[in-house]
Amino acid sequence: MPKAIALLSGGLDSQLAICLVKEQGVEIEAVNFQTMFNCCKDDARQVAYNLGVGFTLIRADESYLERVRNPKFGYGRGINPCVDCRSYMFERARAVMEHAGAAFMITGEVVGQRPMSQKMEDFRLIEKDAGLEGLILRPLSAKLLPVTIPEKEGVIDRARLFDIQGRSRARLLELARHYGIENPPNASSGCALTQPQFADKVRDLFEHDPGHDIWKFELLKTGRHFRLSPETKIILGRNENQNAHLEELRFQGLPLLRPHNFAGPAAIFLGGANPEMQAQGASIILRYAQKPLPEICELEFVRGAETAIVTASLPAAESFIEGVRIA
Ligand code: SF4
């Protein structure tokens, strides 16, 4: 039985691509790709199980960050280097393909569905860049695209593929009904890089922290970020879950500042926390704390096994907040 690798986001399009190719007698191994910037909206592993195909998870590594930092093909509206990102995914998936003895790859991409990375010229660029020319089959739009190697070799019957293009989901939903896919998920990458505000946090980190520590990029999804100096950044939780997450980071040695005699967000420091920065951090916490505040606000400054009390009475002024806020 011929074998193919399918890029599976967990969304409807990739599920449909798998259904279309699987019914032509091809064994499928689904590959799900996770970066430090996309949230796992869909449980791709469960989707693969439901479709009756194998599953491999690929996590982006440090070399992915270099693609985000210096894309060959530019950014979208945020700091999303979609063409480079897709090329990186295909390169990584190619290694799985070779290891699994698969002959080609399939995706749920639809011509013209996304402004960046799903135009015909993007498809060509990505295939060439990833060393996969003629080996990527896009069953939903195949009839609009050049004939691929598995079609030429008769492994895939092109007549049973589709010519869907654009943003309308009508034909996709019709296919979902045909294949019994219930509650089809909305089309969304869940990728934070597309959000302009999030892009500011990524740019700040590239500028001030040239190392590619993956955990620091993952931390960008949590909280409000403020840059107090070129070396020091403070992150405040936006809710109880985020406060708890930040509290855990103190066990990794990061200094923590948290309210003691009032209710408000916790904050961690990255890059140092001298007394001046502790005072600035306290005033920022007061700005986002529940009101009314006590006359003298006490905060606990925790570093390693040591805890000290820091006091503050005035929330930071808006002009100060505006000057230090990253996003
Ligand atoms: S939206 Fe994000 S995950 Fe999707 S291709 Fe673009 S950069 Fe990659």
Closest CA to 143 of 129, 124, 160: 160
- Atom 5 in ligand 1: residue holding the nearest Cα: 82
In the predicted model, is pLDDT for residue 40 greater than 60?
Answer: no
- Do 162 and 254 lie in one domain? The reply is no
The total of other beta-carbon atoms located within 10 Å of residue 283's CB is 18
Residue 131 lies in a domain: yes
The total of other beta-carbon atoms located within 10 Å of residue 150's CB is 23
Residue 198 lies in a domain: no
Q: Residue 117's pLDDT is what?
A: 67
Residue 274 lies in a domain: yes
- Do 188 and 244 lie in one domain? The reply is no
Q: Residue 94's pLDDT is what?
A: 97
Q: Residue 21's pLDDT is what?
A: 98
9-29 mean pLDDT = 96
In the predicted model, is pLDDT for residue 186 greater than 90?
Answer: no
149-160 mean pLDDT = 98
What span, in angstroms and rounded, lies between the C-alpha atoms of 236 and 224? 5
Predicted confidence band of residue 190 (pLDDT cuts 50, 70, 90): confident
> Which strand (E) or helix (H) includes residue 259?
strand 256-259
- Do 187 and 226 lie in one domain? The reply is no
- The C-alpha torsion from 144 through 186 and 108 to 196, rounded to 10°, is 90
- Do 226 and 315 lie in one domain? The reply is yes
Q: Residue 42's pLDDT is what?
A: 56
Residue 249 lies in a domain: yes
Backbone angles phi and psi of 165, in degrees to 5: -150, 160
Residue 118 lies in a domain: yes
- Atom 2 in ligand 1: residue holding the nearest Cα: 191
Q: How many domains does the chain have?
A: 2
What span, in angstroms and rounded, lies between the C-alpha atoms of 215 and 220? 9
Residue 207 lies in a domain: no
- Do 125 and 253 lie in one domain? The reply is no
- Locate the ligand 1 atom nearest the alpha carbon of residue 85 and give its number: 8
* Crossing angle of the two packed helices 82-100 and 120-129, in degrees rounded to 10: 50
- Cα(166) to ligand 1 centroid in Å equals 18
Residues 136, 107 contacting (CB under 8 angstroms) = yes
Closest CA to 316 of 231, 182, 226, 222: 226
Could you tell me the residue range of the domain that residue 300 belongs to?
222-324
Using DSSP, state whether 189 is helix, strand or coil. Answer: coil
What span, in angstroms and rounded, lies between the C-alpha atoms of 221 and 274? 25
- Do 19 and 166 lie in one domain? The reply is yes
- Do 156 and 301 lie in one domain? The reply is no
- Do 161 and 14 lie in one domain? The reply is yes
What CATH number corresponds to the domain at position 173? 3.40.50.620
In the predicted model, is pLDDT for residue 49 greater than 90?
Answer: yes
Q: Residue 183's pLDDT is what?
A: 83
Using DSSP, state whether 207 is helix, strand or coil. Answer: helix
Residue 217 lies in a domain: no
- Do 244 and 171 lie in one domain? The reply is no
User: Residues with Cβ < 8 Å from 326, sequence gap 6 or more?
Assistant: 200, 201, 204, 225, 226, 227, 233
- Cα(203) to ligand 1 centroid in Å equals 16
- Of residues 252 and 284, more confidently modeled: 284
Predicted confidence band of residue 187 (pLDDT cuts 50, 70, 90): low
Residues in contact with ligand 1 (CB, 6 Å cut-off) = 35, 38, 80-82, 85-86, 117, 189, 191, 193-194
- Cα(85) to ligand 1 centroid in Å equals 6
DSSP for residue 68? H
Predicted confidence band of residue 144 (pLDDT cuts 50, 70, 90): very high
Residues 225-268 have pLDDT tens digits of 999 999 999 999 999 999 999 999 988 899 999 999 999 999 99
